[in-house]
């Protein structure tokens, strides 16, 4: 009889332990809504040169070790984040015609820390009372096609201190125009970021977030026979110039910011399209 009681006790203990393991496994699963579902990232340390790691799309610039950077690969864009300025050196992405619209909106989203960057980054306190708005580099308007892309566009690693007049004015017009070009050409390759004319720059907040003097956006689009490219530089203030007056060849922008843009283009194509603007391709005033 004792033998059977002992066997029964063993069975009970095994069943109890098994139940607790299953319960513990279930308890470890968190419930996420569609905007904050955890995702895998391919983020690299500052010391690793991203250019040497993998083959790029056409939108990725070559840094050539001029700027300190930490590369963050997101759902829809790539960030070269500078730990000294605490803003991106650049943000790059491809925008297709299909991605210019979608069901996801920015409703209920606010800027938040990037969970995949362990270094110092801006926060709400840096911008509060600074006189500058939190300006997207990869705009939320280009992320309507995907919930994760929309969420990640609100990370502080994707924004810069931007004058409200620019953010709501000419810069917004350029973002809308970029979506039009994506529809027209089927896709555009976009590189965007800050411009610093001198090392002594204004910094805001307790983290010392650098305020750029201007903002740039460079675009590359496929045509029937080749590619066409254009760049824009807009001062970080009330930009009163026309969009056409803000446009410059990509070569001029490269000299200004110290980056080789669209560096994966063959050299012959690169030289022919980056030195001039074919105005008929862009139809701006």
- The model's pLDDT over 150-164, given as tens digits with 9 standing for 90+, comes to 999 999 999 999 999
200: in domain: yes
pLDDT on residue 272: 87
Q: Give the number of other Cβ atoms within 10 Å of residue 46's Cβ.
A: 13
15: in domain: no
pTM: 0.80
133: in domain: yes
42: in domain: yes
pLDDT on residue 65: 65
265: in domain: yes
**For the chain, what is the domain count?**
1
> What mean pLDDT comes out for the span 248-264?
94
Q: Which tokens go with 188?
A: 């555009």
Q: Which tokens go with 262?
A: 């669209």
Angle (deg, nearest 10), helices 267-274 and 250-257: 100
168: in domain: yes
pLDDT band at 45 (very low <50, low <70, confident <90, very high): very low
5: in domain: no
> What mean pLDDT comes out for the span 50-73?
72
Contacts of 174 (CB under 8 A, 6+ apart): 217, 232, 234, 243
Q: Which of 10-14, 19-23, 162-166, 221-225 has the highest mean pLDDT?
A: 162-166
d(CA 148, CA 140): 11
Domain that holds residue 217: 31-282
What CATH number is attached to the domain comprising 172? Answer: 3.40.570.10
pLDDT on residue 242: 96
pLDDT on residue 48: 36
135: in domain: yes
> Where do the H-state alpha helices sit in the chain?
2-27, 124-127, 147-152, 164-167, 170-185, 243-246, 250-257, 267-274, 279-282
Per-residue pLDDT for 3 more than 60? no
Active site residues: 136
């Amino acid at each position: 009889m004792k033998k059977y009681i002992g066997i029964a006790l063993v069975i009970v203990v095994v069943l109890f332990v098994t139940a607790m393991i299953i319960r513990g496994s279930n308890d470890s699963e968190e419930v996420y809504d569609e905007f904050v579902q955890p995702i895998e990232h391919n983020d690299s340390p500052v010391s690793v040169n991203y250019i040497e790691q993998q083959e790029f799309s056409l939108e990725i610039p070559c840094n050539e070790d001029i700027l300190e950077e930490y590369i963050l690969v997101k759902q829809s864009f790539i960030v070269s984040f500078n730990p000294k300025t605490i803003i991106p050196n650049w943000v790059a992405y491809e925008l297709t015609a299909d991605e210019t619209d979608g069901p996801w909106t920015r409703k209920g989203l606010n800027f938040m820390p990037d969970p995949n960057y362990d270094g110092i980054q801006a926060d709400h306190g840096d911008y509060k009372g600074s006189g500058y708005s939190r300006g997207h580099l990869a705009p939320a308007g280009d992320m309507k096609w995907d919930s994760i892309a929309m969420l990640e566009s609100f990370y502080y690693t994707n924004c810069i201190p931007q004058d409200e007049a620019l953010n709501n004015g000419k810069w917004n017009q350029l973002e809308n125009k970029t979506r039009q070009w994506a529809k027209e050409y089927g896709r555009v390759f976009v590189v965007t970021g800050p411009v610093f004319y001198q090392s002594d720059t204004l910094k805001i907040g307790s983290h010392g977030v650098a305020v750029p003097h201007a903002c740039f956006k460079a675009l590359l689009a496929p045509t029937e026979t080749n590619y066409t490219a254009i760049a824009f530089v807009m001062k970080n203030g009330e930009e009163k110039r026309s969009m056409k007056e803000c446009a410059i060849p990509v070569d001029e922008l490269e000299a200004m910011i110290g980056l080789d843009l669209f560096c994966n283009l063959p050299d012959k194509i690169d030289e022919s399209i980056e030195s001039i603007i074919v105005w008929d391709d862009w139809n701006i005033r």
